[in-house]
Structure 1
Amino acid sequence: MKRLLRLPDLLRFTLVFLIALVFQNCTEQKIKESTDETLNITDYLRDTPDYSMFLEALEITNYAPFMNTYGTYTLFLPTNDAMKAYLKDVGANSLKEVPLADLQNVVKLHILNQKINTTSFTDGKIATPSLYGQFLVTGATNKNGESSTTVNKTASILKSNVPVGNGVIHVIDKVLRVADKTLAQTIEQDQSLSLFTEALKITGWYDVLNKPIDYTKNDIDSYLTVLAQTNEAFKTAGINNIEELKTKYSHLHEPLNPKDSLNLFVSYRILPKLQYLADLAITPALETKAPLEVISAKLDKDVILLNEEVFNGVLEKGVAITREKSDVTATNGVLHFVGANFAIKKRLPSPVYFDFCDQNEFRQLTSVFRIPGAAPKTSLAKTLFKDVTWDHNDPITYFKDAARGGTVGFGWHGDCLEINRFRDGNCQNITFTTPVIIKGKYKLWISYRGQDTKVGLVKVFVDGVEMSRQINMLENGNKFSSIEARVLESQGYKRHVYPHTTKMNCRLVGTVDIITTGRHKLTLQSQSSFSAQAWFDVAEFRPIDMDQLYPQFDSGGDGFYTPPTP
């Protein structure tokens, strides 16, 4: 220190400055770690007084910290005016007077555990359920010449797609209310359904529709869907009271008897599982609680028609679901309204063409699934599939053929299901859940892409019953290209696509007796050590008295081909 003091003033000043500079560089700097200053949901509400009451609800229910964490959420946010109207409806002066469990349920109903913008809304249910577990339903309405989006038919969206750090907010003008009534109670409280309610009670179905969800089972399977008829629909059919309904339909005069036609009349309007309009619109055959009976459904523009079919060239007009009144959520299911009376139809066996690639999990690949020029193949893990199961953990692959930008060949829809190393020790057994098949006898055809080496034999099972013939995947279409079509059919083969490609082949594996109308299990089992990929196109269930050759499938396309009549 003495030596430092003896130095000249200028030199001493310079040395002190350098020492200070070194200490400054060694001091920990405060680095801005965040690159996004967008507020999360809770902080956004704290920063916006117009939503202070829903913020208070979050704080009372202890959801405020949760909604301020990282994630991807959608919040349907009621305004303060909406919250005040809610308090008036429930007879409370403040949110603290609302029972905590009720307030928690209301809060959870407004939150979805996924970010969903209005561009993903459809005229129907949102695909992701709320945190409460009930689905929300969106739609469009026009008031005073202005269009708006509604939620659960009661609330209008005032401001949409508000970005926040952990999701998106849609501001609504009413508080959404939790469905707290069973299907039976929901139907009974609607005076326009009084005759339908009486029918439910005398057949015993009221008690079934009044049961709460059994959460010890798969809760989705515990739900029910009801297609209810209004008094007006009955009146149009000449039925004005319960006695006239019994006279017309109760042939055993025992409505509680499941075999009585009135009991069947009611059970035909009750569907298993939770099925909103969005689900019905994409389901061509609806299973019902009437044993072995189904309802056909098709979408005509924006109307869902039930049991509209063409038989022997004659159009049988269907019954429309009343869209604006339907999609009513209950605690144990969903209620729809139909516009007219309808009865069970005698169903004859009809063909089912099951494309192996037509799985919801593949369909969700919207940038790939049947898109020309997109990536030729995409593999998905077995844990993702609902209706396909297989042994081992190898994925299965959606593979587009040459018609859709891939390399496989020209199959129907331009795609095939690829199984890699289809052998013992890997995926040796793969089981599919088919679409609904009407009871009856069918010939079962399996189409595939044959190869010259490295593949082998495949057994086919329906509901565990082995078919009489195996598929030899070494046989491709080229082997039979010179044989006349009817001769080839007699040998158990055919050309299933048009124009035909020699890479594709189709094998008759046997005749199957479908005992019950519904979805069934189709299993493919390899019998040898495949060291190359196996490609499967379509499983055809054709009634035994139907032409087994025509219609053919559009090679690389989505339609059918029937040769012109000479």
Structure 2
Amino acid sequence: MKRYAAFLKLMRLTLVVFLTLAFLNCTSEKINERTDETVNITDFLRQNDEYSMFLEMLELTNYSSFMNTYGTYTLFLPSNNAIKNYLTDVGAAAVKDVPLEDLKELVKLHILDQEVATTAFTDGKIATPSQQGQFIITGAANVGGISSITVNKTSRIMSSNVKVGNGIIHIIDKVLRVADKTLAQTIEADQSLSLFTEALKATGWYDKLNMPLTSTTVEGKTTLSGHLTVLTETNEVFKAAGINSLADLKAKYSHLNDPLNPEDSLNLFVSYRVLPKLQYLADLAVSPSLETKAPLEVISVKLATGKILLNEETFNGVLEKGIPVNRTGSDVTTSNGVVHTVEQNFFIKKRNPAPVYFDLGDQPEFRKLSAVFRKPGNYVSLAKSLFTEVTWDGVDALTYVCAAKGSSSYQDRAWKGDVIEIFRFRNGNTQNIAFKTPVIIKGKYKVWVSYRWKSAKNPTVRAYFDGVALPRLINFQEQGVNNIDERVLESQGYKSHISPFTNRFNSRLCGVIDVQTTGRHTITFESLSNPGDTAWMDVVEFRPINMDQLYPRLQSGGEGFVE
């Protein structure tokens, strides 16, 4: 009987367990498979009716699914009211009435492929271009005692730094417009630049500034070229210089009486104001000199008390004051470049050789990575296909390192605290690495190459300037020396290029060059050995031969100079 009771008890327990398991299996599991419940951009728009019209734009252009995927984007999001005002401006009744191609370009202009918070904004362009290709300009405005951030000089940010799952959103009160006028058309449309427009037409430069960009596609990657930058002068600036008409301009500058002749002074007057490439104020501010379309002529740049000054130099102890760039009238984006205005009239200045301190890490591709470039404790490696001004043999990536302060690697002691890291600087890997230099004024220079030494597995390197080999080799295993008189050391072709001194860095004199033309040149480094370790390079100095080769020294870990 006891056995039977025990058996019944066991059967009841088994039935309870079975029913429990059956219940659990039949109940849907409510497991949160996401680690982050923050919605992505498209879902954010779907949840907020006040942005429904921009959502419609995304859907019409097939961007809605794309903007709902993983990534790090910045969206400048116009409200429905902003889009309604835009539709009125273009004469469209609804979003769907805007030509699809125009809509695509408009949407792409509002999106950046990098997360950029307002704390990273400066008074000028954001380093990362929009998906459309044109840059976004930010600034500050004070209206009625209320300060706000402006975007492209026409829109204000109403709400900023809205975090979403795949980036960040800034709400704006006006739709950003794609710049569809050329440099020539943009300048001509400004009545205050009417005399400058006449000068462009008289010299033939109007047609050159009216040319569209050239598109080249290689392996599926499209590159636009032909951007130019123009430094304009208003009628008021001309008037202050006693120039009130095109006739006055010709009388003052056209020495051949043939403005269409590239050698005529009026033609040179205009070409001196046309710069290659796309160069916003943020680019001018960090450029020691600017190449111009006037043959062999450059414009020097100095940043002083928040102003960008052109051609400010001291000659024979006399200061020649610079020409201020007008910030308000500058950073005007066009379809093929950017327009700036200056506050005074100026002409070509003949230049003597001047030192150039070329920080090898200061490449456009590294500079636009605002979270990495000159941010201590960060580095990035980029494939050679991404670079426009650096080329090399081999497939290894090129690495930029901005070491943390007090780093055991001592890389933070370099000038500006950053170095270029070359992985396996040897034949078959990274070899014949060539850098496009900044503008060098014609003349004779001594070339110094600085590096972070390593006692083993580092290369011996030959330098070439514009393809011509320099006589002295660089041994990356030679360390800096401080126990020999600095002038004796200099006579042997060595020096400490940074101050305070650290023997972790050394600088080698490679030879003397004769720069025949003012402009940008090429310096190439060829490894003559096959070491198996990384190599680090800091800066290349081009110092005029009649200049002191030791002083000023470059500031260790900083951007300045030490006398």
| Fold in common (TM above 0.5) | yes
2:190 counterpart residue number: 190
Matching of residue 141 in structure 1 with residue 141 in structure 2? yes
Residues 78-98 of structure 1 deviation map (CA, whole Å, 9 limit, x = unaligned): 222222222221223333333
Tell me, what secondary structure is at the counterpart of 2:92? Answer: coil
Residue 558 of structure 1 deviates from its aligned partner by 4.8
Code of the residue aligned with 1:550 in structure 2: it is: Y
Contact kept, 8 Å, 1:229 with 1:337, in 2: the verdict is: yes
Structure-1 separation of matches of 2:101 and 2:420: 48
Q: What 5-or-longer segments of structure 1 have no aligned partner?
A: 1-7
Code of the residue aligned with 2:542 in structure 1: it is: F
Residues 385-434 of structure 1 deviation map (CA, whole Å, 9 limit, x = unaligned): 54333333445566789984334596655665554543333334222222
Choose which of 281, 289, 296 in structure 2 pairs with 1:285. Answer: 289
Structure-2 separation of matches of 1:398 and 1:61: 37
Residue 280 of structure 1 deviates from its aligned partner by 1.4
Q: How does 1:345-364 map to 2 (within 5 A)?
A: 345-359=349-363, 364=369
Contact kept, 8 Å, 2:441 with 2:518, in 1: the verdict is: yes
Residue 135 of structure 1 deviates from its aligned partner by 1.7
Matching of residue 552 in structure 1 with residue 556 in structure 2? no
Structure-1 separation of matches of 2:268 and 2:490: 41
Code of the residue aligned with 2:446 in structure 1: it is: K
Matching of residue 518 in structure 1 with residue 522 in structure 2? no
Code of the residue aligned with 1:528 in structure 2: it is: S
Contact kept, 8 Å, 2:74 with 2:116, in 1: the verdict is: yes
2:23 counterpart residue number: 24
Code of the residue aligned with 1:439 in structure 2: it is: K
Distance 1:9 1:52, change over 3 A: same
Tell me, what secondary structure is at the counterpart of 1:215? Answer: strand
Q: How does 1:201-240 map to 2 (within 5 A)?
A: 201-216=201-216, 219-240=223-244
Choose which of 421, 445, 448 in structure 2 pairs with 1:445. Answer: 448
Contact kept, 8 Å, 2:357 with 2:539, in 1: the verdict is: yes
Residue 278 of structure 1 deviates from its aligned partner by 1.5
Residue 220 of structure 1 deviates from its aligned partner by 4.8
Choose which of 427, 432, 436 in structure 2 pairs with 1:433. Answer: 436
Contact kept, 8 Å, 1:434 with 1:519, in 2: the verdict is: yes
1:92 counterpart residue number: 92
2:303 counterpart residue number: 299
Structure-2 separation of matches of 1:94 and 1:454: 67
Tell me, what secondary structure is at the counterpart of 2:138? Answer: strand
Residues 104-161 of structure 1 deviation map (CA, whole Å, 9 limit, x = unaligned): 3323322223332222222112222223222221111000000011111111111222
Residue 50 of structure 1 deviates from its aligned partner by 2.1
Residue 359 of structure 1 deviates from its aligned partner by 4.4
Structure-2 separation of matches of 1:236 and 1:40: 55
2:72 counterpart residue number: 72
2:246 counterpart residue number: 242
Number of residue pairs aligned between Structure 1 and Structure 2: 550
Residue 523 of structure 1 deviates from its aligned partner by 1.4
Q: Normalising by the residue count of structure 1, what TM-score does the alignment of the two structures yield?
A: 0.87
Distance 1:246 1:165, change over 3 A: same
1:464 counterpart residue number: 467
Structure-2 separation of matches of 1:189 and 1:198: 12
The structure carrying a bigger strand percent of its residues is 2
Choose which of 305, 321, 327 in structure 1 pairs with 2:331. Answer: 327
Contact kept, 8 Å, 1:370 with 1:404, in 2: the verdict is: no
Structure-2 separation of matches of 1:192 and 1:225: 18
Tell me, what secondary structure is at the counterpart of 1:67? Answer: helix
Tell me, what secondary structure is at the counterpart of 1:108? Answer: helix
2:107 counterpart residue number: 107
Distance 1:526 1:95, change over 3 A: closer
1:5 counterpart residue number: none
2:4 counterpart residue number: none
Structure-2 separation of matches of 1:11 and 1:400: 71
Q: What 5-or-longer segments of structure 2 have no aligned partner?
A: 1-6
Structure-2 separation of matches of 1:381 and 1:15: 64
Contact kept, 8 Å, 2:425 with 2:459, in 1: the verdict is: no
Contact kept, 8 Å, 1:274 with 1:334, in 2: the verdict is: yes
Residues 59-100 of structure 1 deviation map (CA, whole Å, 9 limit, x = unaligned): 333433333333333222222222222222122333333333
Code of the residue aligned with 2:63 in structure 1: it is: Y
1:313 counterpart residue number: 317
Residues 213-253 of structure 1 deviation map (CA, whole Å, 9 limit, x = unaligned): 11127745311111111000100010000000011011111
1:543 counterpart residue number: 544
Q: Normalising by the residue count of structure 2, what TM-score does the alignment of the two structures yield?
A: 0.87
Residues 183-207 of structure 1 deviation map (CA, whole Å, 9 limit, x = unaligned): 1111111110100000000111100
Structure-1 separation of matches of 2:402 and 2:13: 75
Code of the residue aligned with 2:544 in structure 1: it is: P
Tell me, what secondary structure is at the counterpart of 1:106? Answer: helix
Tell me, what secondary structure is at the counterpart of 1:262? Answer: helix
Residue 494 of structure 1 deviates from its aligned partner by 4.2
2:44 counterpart residue number: 44
1:3 counterpart residue number: none
Q: Which moved more, 1:254-263 or 1:70-79?
A: 70-79
Residues 490-520 of structure 1 deviation map (CA, whole Å, 9 limit, x = unaligned): 4444454556555654433222111222222
Matching of residue 254 in structure 1 with residue 258 in structure 2? yes
Q: Which moved more, 1:428-437 or 1:524-533?
A: 524-533
Contact kept, 8 Å, 1:221 with 1:272, in 2: the verdict is: no
2:3 counterpart residue number: none
1:4 counterpart residue number: none
Contact kept, 8 Å, 1:122 with 1:139, in 2: the verdict is: yes
Distance 1:415 1:159, change over 3 A: closer
Code of the residue aligned with 1:511 in structure 2: it is: V
2:56 counterpart residue number: 56
